[in-house]
Chain A
Amino acid sequence: MSPILVIEQVLNGLQSGVMLFLMAAGLTLIFGVMGLINLAHGALYMIGAFAAAAVAGATGSFLLGLVAALTASAAAGALIEASVLRRLYGRDHLDQVLATFALILILSEGTRWLFGSFPLYLDIPDWLSGPVRLPGGIRYPLYRLAIIGIGLLVALGLFALISRTRIGIRIRAGEADREMIGALGVNISVLYTLVFALGAALAGLAGALIGAIQSVQVGMGEPVMILAFVVIVIGGIGSIRGALVGALLVGLTDTLGRIFLPMLFGLFMEPTAATTTGSALASMSIYILMAAVLLVKPTGLYGSAG
């Protein structure tokens, strides 16, 4: 177990963690402000990835692809908020789950109808490809490093938005008291659409960035979204800070578990059995982490009341 391998894997874990944060931040923001559980968040991630792949493929520009991803997912988010989800804010969680599940079906099949069942590919642009040499002689893909950078920048931006700006104050007021903010004369339905579009754009950005590492296909969003659920259960629903901490915990646990658990079992088991047991356990590690957090703090690390 060389230190280089450990550092590489920690970086991989960070990369996966910050992408999870982009998803979890949107989910937790939307739940915190509107009280809505949005299962279709993964579909917005997928829409971002498809928009990026299609536009980058047609124009040859990765940056234009990113712009397209942000625009398409924010627009799709605003559209479904204004047409469907707005009717669900006062309803119980079961209705929200079902309606957003229905939206997954519609958006996924719609995308399949538009783009077909074969995966698309989004290429890493030349200026971000290849490895960089880090201090200590570690070679690490520049693109993944860039993803970590972008994710952390977005996190900073979000914290600044929430704590420093007028819209952030409105968002926090919306969390605290829906009626009060209405009485203050803030146009609450516009605010809600904006918050939803912001969450959607974050998901779309994550989809586009990951789309260049993995293939872009229908159904890519839901596994990530469920991981993001694990993140906010661990972090505490409604807390952006909880989402960041939870995302990094989950990203690191998952990535490191996959590499090191089989190695760990290899110390006292025969190689095949160690690989099998280690990777089976690794596939469960984040859920075990979630269960452990629940046993100690049922409302998550930074959660308030359940």
Chain B
Amino acid sequence: MGGRRETMVNALLLAGLLAVPLWALWADEPFTITLATRVAILALAGVGLNLALGTGGLVSFGHAVFFGIGGYAMGILAFHAQNYTPLIEALSIPGTKSMPVIWAVAVLASALVALVIGALSLRTSGVYFIMITLAFGQMFYYFTISWPAYGGEDGMSIYLRNSFPGVNTLVPFNFFAISYALLLAVLLLVGRLMRAPFGLALSAARQNEARLRAVGIDPYRLRLSAFTLSGAITGLAGALYADLNRFVSPSMFSWQTSGEIMVFVILGGVGRLFGPVAGAALFILLEHFLGGISEYWHIFLGALLLGVVLFARGGLIGMLAGEEVAHD
């Protein structure tokens, strides 16, 4: 992707994200490993949003929905497994503690929800689209609060981390490695997709819709596919995030969560494949260090975000790798 300098920045980012927890493993700093795991998972959520927002130009302020669906997919499956109650009584389908199964369910469920929300929201565009995705986020938020079966407002705890065949997931570094590997796999996938016919056409739909129609391609199906895929990736991140915290709650669905995922994308650089990785890393660093200095660190985050929007549209990667977004 893009210029040689951007490729180098990307490689350094990935290496850094691996090196920090490796160092922490050696220095016996498990908390740092957890921070790195959060970066990997939140970056994954951002990669999902970036596909819709950066490549497709779909400003979704409701990606918390998919993050939450992924989280609750994990929560509900593990809840039934830990309580030995069937998930669906009539069919006596049990819950599960197996990560791969949970991931599959999380991805499918969030893709399905994204398909429905996308099909409705993409009937509109511009400001309507932003407001509607935001509103659908609130709908899921209030629904999880008022639905008591899975903890309602309080959310629910999962006592043990879920399992992955052949790996002891209770070891912090192992869980980091799993999250990191998934992030890499998705980056690879999305990177290919952006260069494939689909990516070219999706990007054209953002840049010039009339041109796309004039060559015989309808943007709706492209955008809906991108939105669905984007939701599925963010859903996978939600399942991992719930597993990291062993806790799910309605706040995963909140508008603040949508806003934060968007902040990762922007801080890193809109439309750049590795933007969300840089953005999530910066966010966690700020939260950790500024949060240590002041309880009110969101003021500084807000000021920084404002600065990026007004003066540095390329985000962090843009500053490091040169201004223009790379496309080939």
Contacts and interface: CB of A to CB of B under 8 A. Distances in A.
Interface stretch (B13-21, B139-147, B189-197): B139-147
Nearest to A87: B310
Contacts of B125: 306
A294 B302 CA distance: 33
B298 A108 contact: yes
B241 interface: no
A44 to B, nearest CB: 15
A95 B305 CA distance: 10
A283 B309 contact: no
Contacts of A290: 132, 135
Contacts, number: 123
B59 interface: yes
A233 interface: yes
B27 interface: no
A284 interface: yes
A232 B131 CA distance: 9
B146 to A, nearest CB: 4
Chain A contact surface mostly: helix
A294 B132 contact: yes
Classify chain A: how many residues form its interface, as a range.
35 or more
Contact of A291 (B120, B142, B262): B120
A94 interface: yes
Interface stretch (A99-107, A134-142, A188-196, A203-211): A99-107
Contacts of B130: 37, 93, 97
B299 interface: yes
Given A31-B127, A98-B266, A287 B138 contact: yes
Interface residues of B, number: 44
B299 A113 contact: yes
Interface in B40-69: 53, 59, 61
Interface stretch (A52-60, A124-132, A157-165, A221-229): A221-229
Interface in A271-285: 276, 279-280, 282-284
Contact of B131 (A104, A233, A282, A283): A233
A101 B305 contact: yes
B131 A222 contact: no
Given A84-B306, A94-B270, A233-B132, A276 B127 contact: no
A199 to B, nearest CB: 15
B61 A97 contact: yes
Contacts of B310: 84, 87, 99
B255 interface: yes
14 contacts: A37-B127, A87-B310, A95-B309, A98-B266, A103-B306, A105-B298, A112-B296, A113-B299, A226-B255, A237-B127, A237-B128, A276-B149, A291-B120, A294-B120
